[in-house]
């Protein structure tokens, strides 16, 4: 059974880069034709797709964040990562890592989520 687990700092200062990692267990990122992505949820708000990476390394980002987002994959560690630069308080959210088969698609596996607060 695939499990996804987010990790990273829970507090980031304004203007800095938010960096998170998602570790997959119970399945291999590079041996399956899946996309691996990130979805965020601001406190008390709805869900927003940030972007995804194919196991081969091709990336796709939501237009509103494209200039600040980088998603990468490290198959040797069975991990993929999110970098969001120049953060502001508006980027405070719970960040979920997800898996999906096609692009776009529904998200069939989710990590538990990690709260990242942007504050001085």
| Sites of contact with another protein (CB under 8 A) | 46-49, 60, 62-63, 96, 102-108, 110-113
Cα torsion 73, 76, 78, 83 to 10°: value is: -30
- CA distance linking residue 112 with residue 41, whole number of Å: 12
Closest approach of another protein to the CB of residue 19, in Å? 20
Q: Are strands 35-41 and 109-110 parallel, antiparallel or unpaired?
A: unpaired
Closest approach of another protein to the CB of residue 16, in Å? 25
Closest approach of another protein to the CB of residue 94, in Å? 9
Q: Are 98 and 3 in contact (CB under 8 A)?
A: no
In terms of CB distance, is 5 or 75 closer to another protein?
5
In terms of CB distance, is 21 or 105 closer to another protein?
105
Q: Are 77 and 86 in contact (CB under 8 A)?
A: no
In terms of CB distance, is 77 or 112 closer to another protein?
112
């Amino acid at each position: 059974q695939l499990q996804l687990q987010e990790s990273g700092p829970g507090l980031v200062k304004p203007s800095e880069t938010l960096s998170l990692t998602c570790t997959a267990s119970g399945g291999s990122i590079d041996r399956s034709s899946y996309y691996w992505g990130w979805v965020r949820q601001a406190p008390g708000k709805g869900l927003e797709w940030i972007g995804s990476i194919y196991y081969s390394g091709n990336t796709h980002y939501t237009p509103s964040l494209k200039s600040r987002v980088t998603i990468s994959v490290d198959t040797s560690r069975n991990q993929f990562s999110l970098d969001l630069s120049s953060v502001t308080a508006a980027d405070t959210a719970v960040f979920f890592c997800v898996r999906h088969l096609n692009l776009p698609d529904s998200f069939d596996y989710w990590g538990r989520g990690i709260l990242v607060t942007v504050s001085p």
